[in-house]
Amino acid sequence: MEAWILLSVAAAAFQTLRFMLQKRLSMGALTAGGATLARFFYSAPLVVALTLGYLALTGAPLPGFSLLFWLYAMTGGLTQILATWCVVALFAERNFAVGITFKKTEVVQTAIVGLIVLGDRISALGLGAIVLGLVGVLILSDTPGLERRWLRRIANRAAFLGLASGAFFAISAVGYRGATLEIASQDPLLRAGVTLAVVTLAQTFALGAWLIWREPGQVRRVAAAWRSAVWIGVAGMMGSLLWFTAFTLENAAYVFAVGQVEVIFSLAASVLFFGEKITRREALGIALVTLSVIAVVAFR
């Protein structure tokens, strides 16, 4: 099995863990902005230390990068902040599942943005596999009680937040792939580590400054919540490092398509930790997502 596939699956697992931790933290003393900052605040020092350690261990010099690297990296960093903020804000919505459904359009949106910005193309069969996965995700994310109320599905704040987060995640993924491709190194792990270190430091300072201005006291609360928030940083660092490394190896749309196994991981967590049962509809959704991932790998 190719490395980017394993990296994408592992990244999805860490992302599931990180969102579970962020949901718990955002329901306490932190606002959506504070919970978003926690993800970067505690990741940044870990990422920098890991990258410097890797450079020392391998003896490799710090690679050079073009001016275009900064444009891609900063665009990706900003849109990831906005995307994460939207997802955390979704946790406060009653129709959370509807919002997450719209978020999952990120795979299709990534394919479009990747084609426009980087010229990344996907085959007809690959596109069909992506759409099949989207159908599976829609089935999994269906909201009981709203089966025939389509206007209520799309005309609400949760739907807007979900769609916006999907768009921002799509732009950030393409931005990060573009940034890693601008680094003068053949080592995908080094390219991912350098990009991630630059981005998370910029995100921490930028979002921290914003919160000091707009939400006084939140940065202090993020620091005070370190016992819980540090694990968000660890999960976020691992997830991002795996995503970034996968982006250096393959089209971002395909990486996100395989990453749709995140919905299966989330459902498994519900069954294992909360004793919930899998319905027929959910079993069908799992089957379609699984088939989609297999098809993406086979027909990309």
Q: What is the total count of domains within the chain? A: 1
Q: Two tokens at 7?
A: 């990296």
Q: Which of 248, 15, 242 is nearest to 120 (CA)?
A: 248
- What does pLDDT average to over the chain? 82
Q: Which domain holds residue 99?
A: 3-299
Using the predicted structure, report yes or no on whether residue 85 has a pLDDT greater than 70.
yes
The two tokens of residue 50 are 């890991």
Percent of the chain with pLDDT over 70: 82
C-alpha span between 194 and 63 (Å, rounded): 8
Give the whole-angstrom CA distance, residue 87 versus residue 167. Answer: 12
Per-residue model confidence (pLDDT) at position 93: 64
The separation between the first and the last C-alpha atoms of the chain, rounded to the nearest angstrom, is 14
Q: What pLDDT does residue 152 have?
A: 54
Band of the pLDDT at 24, cuts 50, 70, 90?
low
pLDDT digits (tens, 9 = 90+) for 182-230: 999 999 999 999 999 999 999 999 999 999 999 998 999 989 888 878 8
Residues 6+ apart with CB under 8 A from 73: 175, 176, 179, 195, 198, 199, 202
Q: What's residue 292's pLDDT? A: 80
For residues 220 and 233, give the distance between their C-alpha atoms in angstroms, rounded to a whole number.
Answer: 16
